């Protein structure tokens, strides 16, 4: 640090501020960074941690690294923290509550400065322990039950409401849903939106059309097979996460169910996948990068000692991206349409015969 100060002609205190992420004049920062690059200076994180009680590390605890929702968020989180001089510990607890507790305490034992968690069943005692150690925690996707913690959520109820409303406006009345385990906040809210829109439009939400999956591809596959094997299958289906959407599409292909001719379909997340499927799927898209960015920004704010708005709850909006997988159906039953067609044909035929008959009379009169 002395060498950098000497090369730049600035004080050691100014150099120290820049290295520790404290804002200084922009021109001084450029001079210091240039000297750092030229001299090949590397920060000794262990020594800095001993001095500042900071390790410049963040723990990220997620239920699955193969889940596109989690990996997209992790990517955004890592980018933000890297820009701010932090390293990240990524822990996958495989949706196992016991492993979730174990990994959480592993991160505390590593003296991370803060934790971002997508919780499943983390105990309030564990969160309280983090707070006692002054380790700020930000929850993603699901609130921490009974705890005042910063949380970044998606407006899941309105996401589901808008998707099902889109199907209702296309005149569908037999609408199926495959939701996740109702022990999770997201699944509960998405089912709540499905039920509420049925109430608002005064349409019965029949239990036979509601299937509970596991947020995995196999669950979407199995529940779609069951749903489409009903004596009166739905005319439309809403699947509430990406993995189950993928499983549902595979099942429909195996059953030779054509989208949207036989079944209108709305999926969840992964716009790229939706564009690859033919026809292009209508899909609900979560702002996954924004979720990660918001969570990281909240944690950085707490690490700077700013707790003015704690606990802060952010609710981000989803977007319904229209595709070609929803068919507008006629509001009249086929039987009534058939009767109308038959009556129309009968009337047309009568008018045709009348015209012929009148023409014959005219010709007879002319001949006379």
Residue positions counted in the chain: 368
Please report the pLDDT score of residue 42 as a whole number.
Answer: 61
355 is a domain residue: no
328 is a domain residue: no
250 & 161 share domain: yes
pLDDT band (50, 70, 90) for residue 145: confident
Q: What percent of the chain has pLDDT over 70?
A: 85
Burial (CB count <10 Å: 0-12, 13-18, 19+), residue 66: exposed
Please report the pLDDT score of residue 7 as a whole number.
Answer: 74
Average pLDDT, the chain: 87
Of the ranges 193-202, 294-303, 327-336, which one carries the lowest mean pLDDT score?
Answer: 327-336
pLDDT for 287 beyond 70 = yes
Kindly report, residue by residue over 185-194, the tens digit of the pLDDT.
999 999 999 9
Of the ranges 3-17, 91-105, 352-366, which one carries the lowest mean pLDDT score?
Answer: 352-366
Compare 20 and 317 and report the one with higher pLDDT: 317
237 is a domain residue: yes
305 is a domain residue: yes
Of the ranges 73-82, 165-174, 266-275, which one carries the lowest mean pLDDT score?
Answer: 266-275
Compare 348 and 56 and report the one with higher pLDDT: 56
Please report the pLDDT score of residue 22 as a whole number.
Answer: 67
**Domain tally, the chain:** 3
Please report the pLDDT score of residue 21 as a whole number.
Answer: 62
254 & 312 share domain: no
Radius of gyration of the chain (CA): 31
What's the rounded mean pLDDT across residues 338-346? 71
End-to-end Cα separation, the chain, in angstroms: 124
Quickly list H helices, the chain: 2-8, 12-19, 26-39, 45-52, 68-83, 97-109, 124-132, 156-169, 185-200, 217-228, 242-254, 271-276, 288-303, 334-367
pTM: 0.74
pLDDT for 209 beyond 90 = yes
66 & 129 share domain: yes
Kindly report, residue by residue over 50-65, the tens digit of the pLDDT.
445 688 999 999 998 8
294 & 148 share domain: yes
- Spatial distance between the Cα atoms of 221 and 244, rounded to a whole number of angstroms: 7
Please report the pLDDT score of residue 361 as a whole number.
Answer: 53
**Among 138, 137, 136, 144, which Cα is nearest to 120's?**
144
Please report the pLDDT score of residue 50 as a whole number.
Answer: 45
What's the rounded mean pLDDT across residues 9-36? 77
Q: Which domain holds residue 22?
A: 2-42
218 is a domain residue: yes
335 is a domain residue: no
What is the CATH number for 181?
A: 3.40.50.2300
The answer for residues whose C-beta is within 8 angstroms of residue 340's C-beta and 6 or more apart is 332
36 & 63 share domain: no
Kindly report, residue by residue over 217-271, the tens digit of the pLDDT.
999 999 999 999 999 999 999 999 999 999 999 999 999 999 999 999 999 987 6
Q: What percent of the chain has pLDDT over 90?
A: 63
pLDDT for 363 beyond 70 = no
Please report the pLDDT score of residue 153 as a whole number.
Answer: 95
301 is a domain residue: yes
327 is a domain residue: no
Please report the pLDDT score of residue 349 as a whole number.
Answer: 66
The answer for residues whose C-beta is within 8 angstroms of residue 265's C-beta and 6 or more apart is 236, 237, 239, 248, 249, 252, 259, 281, 282, 325, 326
Q: How many other C-beta atoms are found inside a 10 Å radius of the C-beta of residue 247?
A: 24
What's the rounded mean pLDDT across residues 11-19? 74
Place of tokens 């322990």: 129
What's the rounded mean pLDDT across residues 284-308? 94
Place of tokens 């925690």: 137
What's the rounded mean pLDDT across residues 71-98? 92
Q: Residue 138 pairs with which residues in a beta bridge?
A: 116, 150
- Spatial distance between the Cα atoms of 188 and 198, rounded to a whole number of angstroms: 16
Please report the pLDDT score of residue 36 as a whole number.
Answer: 81
What's the rounded mean pLDDT across residues 141-151? 87
126 & 235 share domain: no
Q: Crossing angle, helix 124-132 and helix 97-109, to 10 degrees?
A: 10
């Amino acid at each position: 640090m002395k060498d950098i100060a000497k090369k730049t002609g600035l004080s050691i205190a100014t150099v120290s501020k820049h290295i520790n992420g404290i804002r200084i004049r922009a021109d001084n920062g450029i001079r210091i960074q240039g000297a750092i690059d030229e001299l090949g200076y590397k920060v000794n994180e262990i020594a800095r941690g001993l001095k500042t009680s900071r390790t410049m590390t963040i723990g990220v605890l997620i239920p699955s690294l193969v889940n596109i929702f989690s990996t997209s968020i992790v990517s955004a989180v890592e980018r933000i923290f890297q820009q701010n001089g932090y390293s990240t510990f990524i822990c996958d607890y495989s949706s196992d509550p016991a492993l979730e507790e174990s990994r959480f305490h592993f991160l505390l034992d590593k003296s991370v400065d803060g934790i971002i968690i997508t919780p499943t069943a983390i105990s309030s005692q564990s969160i309280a322990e983090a707070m006692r150690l002054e380790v700020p925690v930000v929850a993603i996707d699901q609130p921490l039950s009974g705890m005042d913690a910063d949380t970044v959520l998606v407006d899941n109820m309105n996401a589901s409401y808008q998707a099902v409303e889109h199907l209702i406006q296309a005149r569908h009345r037999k609408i199926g849903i495959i939701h996740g385990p109702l022990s999770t906040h997201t699944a509960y809210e998405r089912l709540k939106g499905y039920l509420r829109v049925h109430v608002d439009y005064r349409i019965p939400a029949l239990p036979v059309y509601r299937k509970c999956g596991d947020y995995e591809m196999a669950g979407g596959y199995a529940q779609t097979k069951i749903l489409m094997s009903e004596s009166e299958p739905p005319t439309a289906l809403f699947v509430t996460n990406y993995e189950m959407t993928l499983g549902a599409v595979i099942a429909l292909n195996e059953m030779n169910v054509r989208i949207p001719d036989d079944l209108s379909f709305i999926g969840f997340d992964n716009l790229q996948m939706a564009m690859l499927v033919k026809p292009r799927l209508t899909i609900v898209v979560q702002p996954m990068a924004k979720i990660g960015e918001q969570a990281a920004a909240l944690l950085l704010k707490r690490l700077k000692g700013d707790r003015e708005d704690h606990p802060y709850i952010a609710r981000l909006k989803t977007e319904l991206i229209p595709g070609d997988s929803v068919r507008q159906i006629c509001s009249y039953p086929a039987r009534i349409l058939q009767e109308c067609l038959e009556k129309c044909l009968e009337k047309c035929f009568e008018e045709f015969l009348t015209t012929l008959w009148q023409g014959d009379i005219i010709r007879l009169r002319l001949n006379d």
